[in-house]
Amino acid sequence: AEEIRNFHSNIIINNDGTILVQENIEYDFGKALRHGIYRDIPYKYNYGHKNYNTKLEVEDVTDLNGSPYIYEVTKSGGWANIRIGDPDRKITGVHNYIIEYQVKGTIAFFEDHDELYWNLTGDEWRIPILSSGANVSFDEEIKDGIIAACYTGPSGATNQNCNYEIKKTDVEFKSLQTLYGGEGLTIVVGLPKGIIEEPSSLSKFIWFIS
């Protein structure tokens, strides 16, 4: 049976509010013959009673050795769909997919803190994810005021079958359960005000309508 052995993300939160994401998906096709995988990432979503229309740009898709995969990105209905694989070649067994992309406009700005709310794995997979986690790092050392949370299960679930460890330069997340079809790992990192540059109301408006 097909499964994801490990899904790990390295995320950098830049001071300008952009995030850089590197996903390492260790996918086991078992004996199935496939061209590759699909990765669906939402770029439009609602959080904290606000709608977010982010700018998501895929920069690279490679294997563990840095060799590029053939991939195609299509955006529709608020989702970026990344189709990875050679349409003229089928594969089987275990393969690693390193997906790198940048997202602008995903930081939520509140009165007392700023926050990254991120559905790490997505909950569109129809196969189990045996292990999942993330490392979230920052442009600079933050002495105190970092908050974190994580959630496991279907979209909107409040189960917290996961661990996190807060350090001065990063936060480590780890799911404590297998994620089955329709389930995901969502992470939250809150930072003190003033570290991330908040866009002006005008630039927010231009961003939203563009």
**How far apart, in whole angstroms, are the C-alpha atoms of residue 149 and residue 163?**
8
Domains in the chain, please, with CATH?
3-209 (2.60.40.1730)
120-154 tens-digit pLDDT: 999 999 999 999 999 999 988 998 999 999 999 99
In this prediction, residue 149 carries a pLDDT of 98
- Answer for the pair 71, 82: CB distance below 8 angstroms, yes or no: yes
Q: How many CB atoms lie within 10 A of CB 192?
A: 15
Backbone angles phi, psi at 121, to 5 degrees: -95, -20
> What average pLDDT does this structure show over 90-106?
98
Residues 6+ apart with CB under 8 A from 117: 47, 48, 106, 108, 186, 187, 188
Tell me what the mean pLDDT of segment 17-40 comes to.
98
Q: How many CA atoms lie within 13 A of 98 on its CB side?
A: 11
The overall pTM is greater than 0.85:
yes
Kindly report, residue by residue over 48-95, the tens digit of the pLDDT: 788 889 999 999 999 999 999 999 999 999 999 999 999 999 999 999
Mean pLDDT, the chain, whole residue set: 94
Contact of 121 with 180, CB cutoff 8 Å? no
What percentage of the chain has pLDDT greater than the value 90?
A: 85
